[in-house]
Amino acid sequence: MKTTHLIVFAALAVAVPGISHAQVAGSTLLGTNYAEVRDIALGWSAKRQIFWSPVFNDLNERIGLVDDIIVTFDNSVSYVIVNAGGFLAVTKQDVAVPVSKLKLVDGKLVLPGATRDALKDVPSFEYAR
């Protein structure tokens, strides 16, 4: 039994150095220069700061959640996909909203003049296959 443990331990000792070096944001050069890597490490994350953020109207009513962002061929964010579904966004109704229509007010994404009913009347966004 001890021989089996020694063999497993030896195998782990050989394998661990190859996998134990975790990549730390901003510390590894990956086809970019160090200034770009620093900018990436100090930048913001769409996943953490935009996706699943509530969208409000100018009356502070929650009208949907950001479900996705659309990046065009020129690398600009042109649309956000807002889930304007039913209660607690359980039902799905994705609507493409131009980024230019959104405003950031007191840390909240605001779509002035919009209502949940108005978004439900907009044709649903569907991804091309």
Please report, for the domain that includes residue 106, its CATH number: 2.30.30.240
Q: Which single residue is written with the structure tokens 């359980």?
A: 90
Co-location of 34 and 88 in the same domain:
no
What does the pLDDT average to over 10-38? 53
What distance in Å separates the CA atoms of residue 54 and residue 52, rounded to the nearest whole number?
A: 6
Nearest to 87 by CA among 57, 110, 120: 120
* Residue 127 covered by a domain: no
| Sheet containing strand 77-83, strands side by side | 94-98, 77-83, 62-71, 54-56, 108-110, 103-105
| 15 and 71 fall within a common domain | no
Q: How many domains does the chain have?
A: 2
Q: Which residue type, as a one-letter code, is found at position 57?
A: N
Single pTM value for the model: 0.62
Is a pLDDT exceeding 50 seen at residue 113?
yes
- 83 and 103 in a single domain? The answer is yes
117 and 68: one domain?
A: yes
Which two structure tokens, joined as six digits, stand for 123? 């044709």
Domain shared by 30 and 59, yes or no: no
Instruction: Give residue 120's pLDDT band: very low, low, confident or very high (50, 70, 90).
Output: confident
Which residue has tokens 């700061």? 49
For residues 12 and 35, membership in a common domain is answered with: yes
The residue type of 71 is V
Could you count the other beta carbons within 10 Å of the beta carbon of residue 68?
16
Range of the domain at 12: 2-42
60 shares a domain with 36: no
